[in-house]
Amino acid sequence: MTIDPDMPAHEDAVLRGVMHQYAEHLPVTDKTPIISLGEGDTPLVRSQSIERELGCDALYFKLESCNPTGSFKDRGMVVAVAKAMEEGAQAIMCASTGNTSASAAAYAGRYGLKCFVIVPDGNIARGKLAQSVVYGAEIIAIDGNFDAALRVAREITSKHPIALVNSVNPHRVEGQKTASFEIADALGDAPDVLALPVGNAGNITAYWRGFVQYHQMEHTSRRPMMLGFQAAGAAPLVDGAPIESPQTIASAIRVGNPASSASALAARDESGGAIAAVTDDEILAAYARLAREEGIFCEPASAACVAGVLRQKAEGRSFAGQTVVCIITGSGLKDPETALRTEPDVHRVPAELGAIEREMGWA
């Protein structure tokens, strides 16, 4: 393994990233540059409120929103970009509902690669679009959904010397599995239940791989039950067939034909878990509760896993005695439109002490 000689020695970040931390578990060779934007090592925060309703032993939120570009994608992207650099790529490409493109754009900018992102026109959250713009990616907006974008990205990268950095790139999944290691290390063992939102199904594949490997290496005594949640209007793995026009407010997981369906179903079955659907209303209710009761502002897709475990509880699943971890995959700041979709309850008053106190009810 080498530090790229052309790069300034950003030692702090390099010592912190997932490539440095987990090199022995990653496809790192003598020729792989160890690069980083400080991804990984995200907080595992205990629930203050929802845990009681779930009736579990402990509920934790893994704040993947604390990664450098605000989502879990950075863990896999750093490895995919390092491997692309090792292979001499000059350019990378991805299809995206917004987070993969933000992450790809950031690492490409930092390491001098050209970055093309293909997104569904008008259907990615503004914050994510802003990231790709400012990081300097070439943004190609298509008249089609994520599934169509991924189809063309695969075709273009098979024709041209451009590295595809979607989760169909095996290096992405390798990097993302490091989150399982962190959770197991923090808890001293694997949790009983791992809940996460499912879109293109790379992340559930990655978490399961990480937990299986850690268990094989005897770092844990068990493997968690995997609970994946899709939005009801975009739930091909629940319905058992691809969906032509997926619909949900959780635009990050508006995916009709997940590329990693087979490995997601394997994770479900091998772990004795489930992949189930939650409605947009349930997602928005969990999104609001996470913010108001837990202090966690996530994007709607992330709230799907919390909505999901609450629904399972309501339907009769007992979490008694169990440790549950919900993956908060992305930051709420990425999607201000959803946050402000209804007129916010703002008190408008003159800039004057008495008026403000009266409005507060503390006059």
Residues that bind ligand F0G (CB under 6 A): 71, 96-100, 167, 197-204, 252-253, 255, 299, 301-302, 329-330
Q: How far is CA 35 from the centre of its chain?
A: 20
CB-wise, 47 or 248, nearer to ligand F0G? 248
Which residue in the block uniquely carries the two structure tokens 């001293």?
A: 188
In the complex, what is the shortest distance from the CB of residue 167 to ligand F0G, in angstroms, rounded to a whole number? 5
Between CA 207 and CA 211 the distance in angstroms is 6
In the complex, what is the shortest distance from the CB of residue 293 to ligand F0G, in angstroms, rounded to a whole number? 20
CB-wise, 201 or 227, nearer to ligand F0G? 201
In the complex, what is the shortest distance from the CB of residue 296 to ligand F0G, in angstroms, rounded to a whole number? 13
In the complex, what is the shortest distance from the CB of residue 97 to ligand F0G, in angstroms, rounded to a whole number? 4
Between CA 242 and CA 238 the distance in angstroms is 10
Which residue in the block uniquely carries the two structure tokens 């969906």?
A: 243
In the complex, what is the shortest distance from the CB of residue 119 to ligand F0G, in angstroms, rounded to a whole number? 8
Q: Which tokens hold the place of 288?
A: 């609001």
CB-wise, 21 or 331, nearer to ligand F0G? 331
Burial class (CB in 10 A: 0-12, 13-18, 19+), 32: buried
CB-based contact 311:276 (threshold 8 Å): yes
In the complex, what is the shortest distance from the CB of residue 196 to ligand F0G, in angstroms, rounded to a whole number? 7
Between CA 147 and CA 110 the distance in angstroms is 28
Give the DSSP letter string of 142-200. Answer: ESS-HHHHHHHHHHHHHHSS-EE-STTSHHHHHHHTHHHHHHHHHHSS--SEEEEE-SS
Span between the terminal Cα atoms of the chain, in Å? 66
The DSSP call for residue 224 is: P
CB-wise, 20 or 62, nearer to ligand F0G? 62
CB-wise, 162 or 298, nearer to ligand F0G? 298
CB-wise, 294 or 299, nearer to ligand F0G? 299
Q: Which tokens hold the place of 108?
A: 């490409």
In the complex, what is the shortest distance from the CB of residue 206 to ligand F0G, in angstroms, rounded to a whole number? 7
The DSSP call for residue 352 is: -
CB-wise, 84 or 204, nearer to ligand F0G? 204
In the complex, what is the shortest distance from the CB of residue 129 to ligand F0G, in angstroms, rounded to a whole number? 12
Burial class (CB in 10 A: 0-12, 13-18, 19+), 118: buried
CB-wise, 218 or 244, nearer to ligand F0G? 244
Main-chain dihedrals φ then ψ at residue 158, nearest 5 degrees: -80, -20
